[in-house]
Amino acid sequence: MLNDSFGRTHSYLRIAVTDRCNLRCRYCMPDEGIDFKPHHGILSFEEIHRLVSVFATLGIRKIRLTGGEPTVRKDLSYLVSMLSALPGIEEVTMTSNGILLAETLDELHRAGLSRVNISLDTLRPERFRAITRRDGIAKVLAAIDQALSLNMHPVKLNVVVMRGVNDDELLDFADFAIRKRVTVRFIEFMPFAGNRWQSEYFISSDEIRERLSRTYALRPLGEETSSSAREWEISGQETRIGFISPVSNHFCASCNRLRLTVDGALRTCLLSNAEISLRDLLRGGASDEELTRSILASLNEKPETHPGINGLLEHENRTMITIGG
Ligand code: SAM
Ligand code: SF4
């Protein structure tokens, strides 16, 4: 039922469960920090549950919890258990910076979390501190081991690549992927409010792949492996490397995702500002039918594609943290 005017069917909902974070990644969090939403402005677990139940009747099958850092939200495993028990929901997954995961992943997994993507932009402790403005790389590495020991395969690592910052670690990450049996996904640096995007930091997926292929033979896998990452296999290693290219080569034609922001707005596109507040409708007493009508009306307005880089730099987007990356 969640079809838009360009024939795309939506089965995947990403939910920002908090705008708080225990790291301060320079490419994500503005220097001055962000004004956190007051507690009452954020969706409660019961509200998220109600909205997801409506989305599930419309065809959403996969949920990803994100933020901010989802693991800093209290009692997250309770939310995971509520959502994974909903009829129609086949998979509840999460994107996390890994800092708190080694301690909490077991409980989250038992509550129904099936997979986790962990963000790690460097394998070097000093650099980790420089990028995230915090310590903690050992905790993230322990979280990766914990996910592997719980057999939450495939464990995926998200690496935002920035020229002059961490692009000298491409081969280290490929070695790490082979050694640990994880999928590493290199993400192009995107502009968001206050993250000081500059073209000299930007490095395209094509360039990253070309640099890797000087050392490794890469074999393309079918695009159906994921709608956002194009995955390649390191020949002879059964290891996958993914490329997420929102800037150089957008994947809008196969986009199957919707987003629920931390304050309960439905966004049909990460990089377009159009949104409607499902929270306000919910709190105003809307029935499931009324929520459905608003969701479908919003989907009908989903743009065919997001603006190119110049358009993105011109319009003021929310921070990634409040949208939910
Ligand atoms: N805190 C969690 C984490 O870091 O995994 C979840 C939220 S974070 C916003 C989700 C993903 O967005 C992370 O993999 C992060 O690296 C990525 N991200 C944040 N800012 C970005 C940017 N400007 N360009 C590309 N990716 C970005
Ligand atoms: Fe926090 Fe994730 Fe943003 Fe880093 S990328 S500041 S961990 S929300």
- Ligand 1: list residues with CB < 6 Å: 21, 27-28, 66-67, 69, 95-97, 119, 158, 160, 187, 189-190, 192, 195, 320-321, 325
Domain regions of the chain by residue span: 12-323
Class of 12-323 in CATH: alpha beta
Determine the residue of 23, 66, 323 to mutate for testing ligand 2's pocket, defined as the one with the most ligand atoms within 8 A of the Cβ atom. 23
Which of the listed residues 28, 132, 192 should we mutate to test ligand 2's pocket, taking the one with most ligand atoms within 8 A of CB? 28
- Rounded-to-10 torsion of CA 274, 21, 98, 83: -50
Cβ of 15 less than 6 Å from ligand 2: no
Nearest atom (ligand 2) to Cα of 321: 8
* CA 214 to ligand 2 centroid distance, Å: 31
The residue ranges of the chain whose pLDDT is under 50 are 225-226
Distance from residue 138's CA to the centre of ligand 1 (Å): 19
**What pLDDT does 226 receive?**
47
Closest CA to 19 of 296, 226, 265: 265
Parallel/antiparallel/unpaired status of strands 229-234 and 239-244? antiparallel
Going edge to edge, which strands form the sheet with 257-260? 218-220, 229-234, 239-244, 183-188, 156-161, 113-119, 91-96, 62-67, 12-18, 257-260, 265-267, 275-277
User: Ligand 2 centre from 24 Cα, in Å?
Assistant: 6
Mind listing the pLDDT tens digit for each residue in 192-245?
777 778 888 999 999 999 999 999 999 999 765 446 789 999 988 889 999 999
> What integer pLDDT is reported at residue 233 of this predicted model?
96
Q: Is 24 in the pocket of ligand 2 (CB under 6 A)?
A: yes
Q: Which pLDDT score, from 0 to 100, does residue 225 have? A: 46
User: Which of ligand 1's atoms lies nearest the C-alpha of 118?
Assistant: 5
Res 192: pLDDT: 77
Strand duo 275-277 + 265-267: pairing: antiparallel
Q: What is the pLDDT of residue 325?
A: 67
- Whether 66 contacts 15, CB under 8 Å: yes
Instruction: State residue 152 phi and psi, 5-degree precision.
Output: -85, 60
Any ligand 2 atom below 6 A from CB of 68: yes
Cβ(28) – ligand 2 distance below 6 Å: yes
Ligand 1 atom nearest to CA at 69? 1
Q: Which atom of ligand 1 is nearest to the CA of 23?
A: 1
DSSP 93-155: EEEE-STTHHHHHHHHHHHTEEEEEEE---S-HHHHHHHHSS--HHHHHHHHHHHHHTT-PSP
23 lines ligand 2 (CB under 6 A): yes
Closest by CA to 219, choosing from 235, 237, 236, is 235
SS3 at position 219: strand
- Residue among 130, 63, 70 nearest 99 (CA): 70
Q: For residue 314, what pLDDT is reported?
A: 66
What residues does 183 pair with on adjacent strands? Answer: 156
Amino acid identity at 302: K
Query: Cβ of 314: how many Cβ atoms within 10 Å?
Result: 9
CA 5–ligand 1 middle distance (angstroms)? 29
pLDDT of residue 313: 67
